[in-house]
Structure 1
Amino acid sequence: MPTVPDTPTPEAEPSLMPLERQYELATYAELLDRPSSPEAIALCDELLTDLLRDRQPRPPRNKQREAFGGLIADLLHRDPMPDGGWVYRAVRPNGFTGEAVGYDVFRFIAEAMVDGSLVWFHRGSQRVTKSEFTGGTWQVTGQRASRFRASDSLRLRFAERGISHTNWADHFSRDAEAAELVERKRKVHLILRGPKPPKRARAERRSSLPVDLKDPEVEKLNNRLVRLNDYLRGQTIEPFGPRVQLQRIFANDELRDDHGWKQGGRFYATGSPNYQTENKGVRKTITINGLPSVELDI
């Protein structure tokens, strides 16, 4: 969010914890909850209308209401004590693909909230390194998503209506459709490749074959991947994260019905760029939950 300057942090911090440590303890802003009580809905509408009055001639659109309500819900869910109450979200287009709240509308709303002093903002950062490990070239060796935190004035506005993190569940609830979109996005796919195309064919890669998710073997393999990816979602892996997800690609070169899922089966990271597409020098910089990692070939 380059157009938004860092918001000066007030002298009186709700948390005595050092800011850098507060940033590390930030939780992910899912943007999946919405105001649901009459009090929360009314106040969110009131705040958003005031916020956008000088930014656009028309009333707030539904997508803007979803983005605003989603971020408000995530911010108020966090207790400012004892770790500051920050949430994080990488503000880049591919971080919003396939979700209910899109990149453009989130950025627009987040910038308005920062300018309107509803949110304290700490810009995300990217570290580049040039060394023998990067082949003598400048390469990205670390990233941190932007941090957001409800300002004291925002918490006070909601507290005046009887809304705080202590009774959050009485005023906000999960948007089932938005959650389904994210779940569909996270859904693990077993990919089955067919034979290599003939040399005379224009196609350069094998086509994907249909996969029967009701097949017992497919279900077993898929459930293993679900458990693995559920575990990985709980880890912060940088600079290719904060979340890394995997898929498995098998081969059925002879198009046999009894291929048995025995050929291939390698794990591949989803999305691009990812750790598998980078050179060895960059992979040496990977950290898991802030700790250095070691690459092993098994």
Structure 2
Amino acid sequence: MSDGAPVALIKPAEDTYADFRTRAVSSEAITLIRDIVDQAVVWEQERKQEDGQQASVRGAYKRGAAGLKSLRGALARFVGHLLIAKADPTKTGKVYRSLKKDGFSGGPVTYNAFTSAWKALEALELVSRSPGAPRFHSLGFDNKPMHLDGMGRASIFEATPKLDALAHQHGVALEDIHRHFEPEQDALQLRAYSKWKWSPRSEADGGTAPTKVRGAIVSFEPSERTAELEAQVTRLNDFLRNFTIRGGRFYGFFRGFNRGQNASAFNWDRGGRLYAYGQGTYQSMPGEQRALITIDGEPTVEIDISASYLTVFHGLVKAPFDPREGTWERIDIDNKQVAKDWINISLANGTELQKWPSGTVADYRSTGIELARDYPIKHVRRAALMAFPALTKLEGSGLTWAELMYAEAEAIMITMTRLIDKGVPCLPVFDSIIVPLPQVRLAAGVLYDAFYQRVGRPPLLKSKSALPGVDEQMAAAIAVDERWVNAFHL
């Protein structure tokens, strides 16, 4: 019987959906897949002979080049899923996928290739298969929920000990599986407008409050513009795969664009940040953990653009502003964070904030601050506008977070492209970049110029790195008199 104490609900582990967006990247994984493909082809030959299709009647069984490539791709992606699922302690170790033919339309693996792959793996005792419960899943390429296996049940697959042993034999260890297989993502992603819905909240938050629902993925027709953007991302990914990154997961990037409800009229100038795809990547790590990342054994430094959106806004409305002369400290209010929140929320919404959001109220209340009582919004607004008069232009500017993000993202893309040209690896974290310690001075200078060029205002660059000499290198990079941007200082 219960003693009245609250019972913690533990979410059960889930099976993994096989979307086939996994690929072998290490030499060990590629060799493993080659071995499995060879075994699968031999099994197919033997099965044909057992079925009575003898060489004397129809000729020796042999896959054509296209068929062999298709089988290899299916096996690489599926085996990757199986081993990644097996290595994940938060999942069941099992993978599910419908065997219904129409569920493969538009995907990276064809129905015939997957059928050949799983049948060979099952016959070789490298995978076990069993029926599962009916499921729903968004397939990714059309973003629509699909009832998997319609009238039946999605099949469940699991790597057998024999597959585990074969992988280990080829140097593919489960504890290091993400070095061998990586998730795959399209280079570009377009999403519609985010929406707000009302949902119950805790009593501490006072009833109900809106919850942001991320916009759905939107399909788009390829064009010269999208091809150019995809080529940029592909070049970044191909370059960075030449380096060994430790201390944080990195599989590759995609650029995420926003507010694309009407894809045919979208100009690819909203959002556009570089996102590291996959789960648990370096971008989702706290700053103190990112500080431990190494690139080819070199320690790294994260260089931040301080007050990025505020600087971008001044540049886009062509208002004088030099963040090196001070940012938040200009505001005549004892709690700078409160004013900073008012400014950032206003910039994100494209309009001056007139009422504190309930979520913000709850966050401050947990620290003992009652915003309505301690920091009336009209007082905070007055202090913010006195410090940054250009914010009065916000209402008529038509600018929101999506336009500000795009300008910032373009500055980061320019920086990374120029660093690649010089052979320097760089990992972006939205409004900052991570670079090897020996390249700090070069990277700081390139970032400074790229941001100034794109935005029209100089950035305030900072770093929290405790490594010796970082501050001096950054200061030296920014102080160079020959910078082309000096002539355009506004």
Give the shorter-chain TM-score range.
Answer: 0.3 to 0.5
Give the structure with the higher percent helix.
Answer: 2
Larger CA Rg, structure 1 vs 2: 2
TM-score (norm 2): 0.29
| Greater length-normalized contact order (CA 8 Å, ≥ 6 residues apart) | 1
TM-score (norm 1): 0.46
